[in-house]
Chains A and B, each alone.
Chain A
Amino acid sequence: MIARHGNKPLTNRSLTIATHYSAASRLAPLLGLIAFVLVWQLLSLRYPPFILPGPGSVAARLIEKLADGSLVIHSAATLSAAIPGLILGTLVAFALGVPIAKSPLADRLISPFIVASQGVPFVVVAPLLFIWFGSGLQAKILVCAMVVFFPIAINVIAGLRSTPPVLRDLFRALGATPSEMFLKLELPSALPFIFAGLRVGGTLSMIGAITGEFLSADRGLGFMINLGNGLYDTALVIAGVLTTVLIALAIYSAIRLAERALRVERWAE
């Protein structure tokens, strides 16, 4: 059974970018970035470029790949697995999480498999998916869905179980139907949790897609990184990693934006 959790969505608190910025805290990430690039530059002077290329040569490689259009093609290929994978993983997380949260029987029936599935390293399972579904897009979407499913499911379950009992009493006393109970109480109560899960899942979706591409692909950021690796083109590898990180950040930000649009911050007391 998946244990009950407290009233906090299950993410590392520090992962959650604060909703309200002060001027100083706005500047902090920028300062961190500048420090990072400086240290990187200094370190790169001490090593040959095939071990650690400097920020300049990585930037040059990025611009070159942007100019010839290949970076866009690779990114699009990775996203075409990451986004459907995220959506599929989310749908499955709800399809299993809702019954688990609502029925003790479903909890006992399904939860052991969910927990066990996390013990299986997906780099090992992924090749199986390629055997069963071919080396096309389908398998990559499935790898990705597998990776994002767990944090979202855990948060859906914890969120649906977080409904305060007194609100449940209130809805029962007001004669709410089961669907009203779910749509007007349980689901909105769970939103902060669900978004916490989506933020983690959204970031992981890029990792899922790249892992898929490592195993089998003829395009995509994972393929590009792999290619760079084989050619000792370390600047290309780092350029690929940076692009991946930026896209993951963009997905994270898009989910944050949706959360703000729904004004989920009102939930907090």
Chain B
Amino acid sequence: MIEVSNIYKSFTLKDKRTLKIKTIAAVQDISFSVLPGEIYGLLGPNGAGKSTTLRMIATLMSPEKGSIKVSGLSTTQHPNEVRAKLGFLATDMDVYERFTPREQLKIFGEFQGMDPESAEKRGLQLLDNLGILDFANVKMDGFSSGQRQKFNIARALLHDPQVIIFDEPTTGLDVLTAKTVLDLLINLKTQGKTIILSTHILPMVEKICSKVGIIYQGKLQTEGSPKQVMERFNSNSLDEVFFTLADSKEPKGGQ
């Protein structure tokens, strides 16, 4: 389970022209929790703070204020133990081009404390599920972005993590593969995994998410099951909720 309580994170940016330093409040006072057997969808426009939130849960950054617990462990006090339970995927992750998927899965299996043989076995199973088993022994420098994304999904799920954090998992995937990934996620959900994902594909959210949270300018605007959220905004779809939310905010754009 994931418990996020009142977290804050800001970044300082330097304007190269004016040399002025400005602070961006990327995440402001966000709280939510995800239970085992739930898929939590984090939504919001570009630059809303979704990735920043997910990175903090994955111990890649620490919140300035507030706390995050994964399976009862604090991300700041026990980052290594937390990561052992995590499967993390982000859009800015790439693959080691000089290795083949098989080699790479073995290496990552060892990193995750698995023995190389079972890592290889499970890895190949995942590659098969994702439809890239034929490329298991091919050096990855020629892989397409979709194939890379599929491999990264396999890598993230290799050690059968209890908690799954997927930042835009269907980016670059065709409809068929996206469907495979969704089925995979639903399957994981029924296995009782705790899953949080961010996405811009709202119909998908309506289909698979038990709960959604909409972030806008670093703040959590609304939260609930997709149905509850739509009812709250008198809308028929999450798209409409987005438009309503955007109108209610001053037209400043992303931040």
Q: Do A and B come from one complex?
A: no
Q: Tell me the A residues contacting B by CB distance below 8 Å.
A: none
Q: Tell me the B residues contacting A by CB distance below 8 Å.
A: none
